[in-house]
Amino acid sequence: MVPLSWYLVVAFILIGLGAYGMMVKRNLIRILIGAEIMGNGVNIALVAFALYSPTFNLTAQGLIILVISVAAAHTALALVLMLMYNRRYDTVDLGRPVDREVA
């Protein structure tokens, strides 16, 4: 049997990697990938908790169905925002408009 803590360690590593991608990267698509990796880490933690809790069993499965559906919708919205950002600033570099204003 795989202990609960093993799943949580993997989930936290994925959450940390996703946070790294969202905070450090300048490319908008890379930032979106980081957000999705964080979401995957959260899903793993939720299902792992569900396997170790009798009361949380169906709740976690229902929550994850909702979370995955919302993730698809927010990815589509993020893609549209990226397209608008690209039209307005002629770049997908998140730090560049700020650099221009400072310069």
Partner 1 sequence: MQADPVFQLFEQVEFILIAGIVIVLAYLALEHKEIVYAAFFFGFMASIVAGFFLLLEAPFIAGMQIAVYTGGISALIIFGVLLLPRAQDSSLETFPSGRKRKIGLLLSGFVAAISATLALLFPWAESFDEIVVDMSQDLGALAEWLWVENSIYVQMIAIIMITSLIGAVALLKMDKAEQMGSIQGEFGIEAEVEIEDEPEPEPESVDEEPEPEATEEEDA
Q: Find the shortest distance in angstroms from Cβ 23 to partner 1.
A: 4
Q: Which of residues 63-102 bind partner 1 (CB under 8 A)?
A: 64-66, 68-77, 79-84, 86-87, 90-93
Instruction: Indicate the residue type of 53.
Output: S
- Size of residue set near partner 1 by CB under 8 A: 75
**93: β partners:** 27
The C-alpha atoms of residue 81 and residue 89 are separated, in whole angstroms, by 12
Q: Find the shortest distance in angstroms from Cβ 63 to partner 1.
A: 9
Q: Find the shortest distance in angstroms from Cβ 94 to partner 1.
A: 9
Q: Which of residues 16-55 bind partner 1 (CB under 8 A)?
A: 16-30, 32-34, 36-37, 40, 43-45, 47-54
**27: β partners:** 93
Q: Dihedral of the CA atoms 51, 53, 59, 62 (nearest 10)?
A: 0
Give residues with Cβ within 8 angstroms of 49, minimum separation 6.
Answer: 4, 56, 60
Q: Find the shortest distance in angstroms from Cβ 97 to partner 1.
A: 13
Locate 92 and state its tokens: 């997908």
